[in-house]
Amino acid sequence: MSRILLKCLTITIVSVICSLLITGIIMHANDMHNAMGYVIATVCPVLISPILSFIVIRQSERLSRALEALRRVKEELEVTNAKLFEKSSRDSMTGLLNREAFFDHLDEVRTRQPCSLLIIDVDHFKKINDVHGHYVGDGALMAIARCITDCVGTDDSIGRIGGEEFGVYLATKENSRVTAVAEIIRAEVNRMDYRTPHSERVRLSVSIGGIVDISSGAVVDHFQTADRKLYEAKRNGRNCVFIQSGMKEAA
């Protein structure tokens, strides 16, 4: 309130000064010298300005506070929406991208930069659940998700695309690089010392299928190719890697 009154006083003083100046200029131009004119030029702004300025300034202050409140609400909504979007795109167990978000991301970036696809399937996962229980099985999935994350680069992306199946987008189209990363993931998972709450060792392994350079063509076709390579790895005893080479390099 004190700030509003100070503004009103300032406006009133300025109004009086301007009124006197205008009155003086008019009188001087018309060779008039009337003291009552200066009195009127002083009294009118004093009577009118405080009331009008108080109303205008108070409304302006209220509007400013309302706009500030709206700005804060907008910011909070943006943060909430960002969190909801992030949550909706993540797998609740592993924290990786879910299937839809992973393939959306894959489709978005593959035409702008080098891109290859790996599909990773946990070997004998049903047996882990049957023998040790779903709690141990869930823990195995989370441990494997962390292991895969540690094996890829910052430009790569990982998604959980099925119950015990993961997809990896690699920002490269070099056959040797794709194969090397896949082999590192396979070896690191196989090397993990994963144990049950009773300290019983659970041996983990993954089979990996992949395709190099998916920048053109349909994503679903590339996925099917990588999936066929995955099942080729399964048929060859599991715990191995089969990659479909890029066509240009293969030629």
Catalytic residues: 164
Rounded CA-CA distance 226/228 in Å is: 5
> What are the structure tokens assigned to 38, written together?
């200066």
What are the DSSP E strand ranges found in the chain?
A: 116-122, 157-160, 165-170, 194-195, 201-202, 206-211, 241-244
**Residue 95 Ramachandran class (φ > 0 left, ψ -120 to 50 alpha, else beta):** left
* Cα-based distances in Å from 220 to 15, 106, 196, 217: 74, 11, 37, 9
| Pairing relationship of beta strands 241-244 and 206-211 according to DSSP bridges | parallel
How close are the terminal C-alpha atoms of the chain, in Å? 81
Instruction: Label residue 124 left, alpha or beta by phi (over 0 means left) and psi (-120 to 50 means alpha).
Output: left
